[in-house]
Chains A and B, each alone.
Chain A
Amino acid sequence: MASAGIRPGAAEERTLAQAFARREDWAFDEAYRRYGTLLYSVALNVLHNVQDAEDCVHDALVRVWRNPKTFAADRGSVRAFLTVVVRNDAISRLRASARRGRLAERLGREDEPAEEFEIDDFVQQRKLRAAIEELPQEQRQPVLLAYFGGKTHVEIAKELAEPLGTVKSRISLGLRKLGAALKEGRP
């Protein structure tokens, strides 16, 4: 990839975001250097298959880079933007796989009820576990099903036998609380 623009020694996030929005090649390189491990990990933690994870990161980043409208400099951090783009792509792949019936074969637990989602099954890090445990049960369960279960809010509402609007609000509130707790170093 050709280089364009001035490449700072240690570009700050804001500088990186501006250059990324301008599609300067060095910004792509720098973003991948900084966040490549995170992005690959995000994909692998969803897909549990190294080739699928590699394809997911590749396709998501190529799509983002080829579509200039996807990221604006004032959109937020490149790190968070790319993380969610890759994660959403991974979840889409998983759902497509499930639709083809392969997910059930691979995981053998497609029909598990919500009650069988245990935090310890997924969360190894104490800080995250503690933050999740701080959430009220009514928010914790839908957030877990959304993040770790990869389920849509419609599926979650059906699974928990709750109104769709209620589930949307609880997921929204739960994620905001979780994000704030992790940001502040709590609980």
Chain B
Amino acid sequence: MNEHVDDLAELYALGSLEDLDRARVERHTSSCAACAERVSEAEESVTRIAELQTMHEAPPGLRTRLHSSLALAHLRHAWVRSIPAAIAAALVLALIPTWVAVDRTRTVAAMHQDEQALAKIASAPFARAQFMSPRNAPMDAKVLYGMHGDWYYVVVMHPKPGMQVAYVHEGKMEMLGTVATHGASGTLYLPVNHKMEELALVSDGAVIGDAHLAY
């Protein structure tokens, strides 16, 4: 949009523009001080209306969720440093089978873990964090965790076979377990009594997502 926004300023602030026009206004105001000022005045008017409407307390988990999402900028660099460690850890785990083997025992164990997780979710306060891909796109994966860092429950949709969950700390990764698959979803319950601030999803030795946890 090369033309000034004129009356579109108020329409923009009111939310009366279609997405395409809205994006054009945003692009134009990023380089036109006069239009930015007019849009800003319109935004003030809309905000004055909004402030006179019913106020609702934001849910306490929202701030935690924002922190988890926005801390990713720091993680990207950590991933680069930790990839060799991740590969090494994955190789070690491949050589030493863990308690999660692909057989009936695993299924029963996974069901038991899910029951434990559901009991925690039902009875204790918990938070959640979204796993994000290295490109900062949200994945169909979350971790629910106790506010005291005493349990973690990772839920992944369409997990890759053998997908693992790792604890990321000071540029190193510690594998915690393998996601158990149930149809289209996968879960892993971790009764770890330790506050972990960063978890990663690892598949074939590569980090494919991570989540930041806040307490």
Contact = CB atoms under 8 A, between A and B. Distances in A.
Interface of A: 1-2, 28, 32, 36-42, 44-45, 50, 53-54, 57-58, 61-62, 65-66, 69-70, 72, 74-77, 79-81, 83-84, 87-88, 90-92, 123-125, 127-128, 143, 146-147, 150-154, 156, 168-169, 171-172, 175-176, 178-180, 182-183
A1 B64 CA distance: 10
B210 interface: no
Contacts of B198: none
B67 A125 contact: no
* In the complex, the 9 A-B pairs of residues with the closest C-beta atoms, listed nearest first: A179-B45, A76-B40, A40-B58, A80-B43, A91-B15, A172-B7, A182-B48, A172-B10, A128-B52
A88 B54 contact: no
A55 to B, nearest CB: 9
- Where chain B touches its partner, the secondary structure class is helix
B193 interface: no
B62 A54 contact: yes
Interface of B: 6-19, 22, 26, 29-30, 33, 36-37, 39-59, 61-63, 65-67, 69-71, 73-74, 136
A70 B58 contact: no
Contacts of A172: 6-7, 9-11
A42 B50 contact: yes
A54 B59 contact: yes
A1 B45 contact: no
Nearest to A45: B53
Given A62-B70, A179-B45, A75 B57 contact: no
Contact of A32 (B22, B42, B66, B74): B66
B11 A146 contact: yes
23 contacts: A1-B67, A36-B58, A38-B51, A54-B58, A57-B58, A57-B62, A58-B62, A58-B69, A62-B69, A70-B26, A74-B36, A77-B47, A80-B47, A128-B52, A151-B16, A171-B7, A171-B10, A175-B46, A176-B42, A179-B41, A179-B48, A180-B45, A182-B45
